[in-house]
Amino acid sequence: MTTNIKKTTTAANTTDVPAADTINLVGPPLRPGQKPEKVTFAHHLRVAGKEVTPGDSAHVSPDYARQLRSSGYIARTRA
């Protein structure tokens, strides 16, 4: 029995968003298809050499926001 396996390679999306439309992200980069979340920090934190203090707002990836939220670094929002 012979099995044919077709291997294909896909080129990574290397096109960057123009500089005027970029948002300064704090933390890990966005994965394809993700949109940044704007969060407000509740505690002092240093992320990739950038210090954020309580009350500062920044854009982060949804995965990183979830991680920070579970660790208590993101301020609660009022409903």
Domain boundaries, the chain: 25-71
- Phi-psi category of residue 20: left, alpha or beta, with phi > 0 → left and psi -120 to 50 → alpha: alpha
Q: What is the pLDDT of residues 28-76, one digit of tens each?
A: 999 999 999 999 999 999 988 889 999 999 999 999 999 999 999 998 8
- b (16+ CB within 10 A) / e for 20-55: eeeeebbbeebeeeeebbebebeeebebeeeebeee
Q: Quick check: helix, strand or coil at residue 51?
A: strand
pLDDT for 55: 93
Asked if residue 20 has pLDDT above 70, the reply is no
DSSP state of 77: P
- Whether residue 13 is predicted with pLDDT greater than 80 in this model: the reply is no
* pLDDT for residue 45: 92
pLDDT, position 39: 94
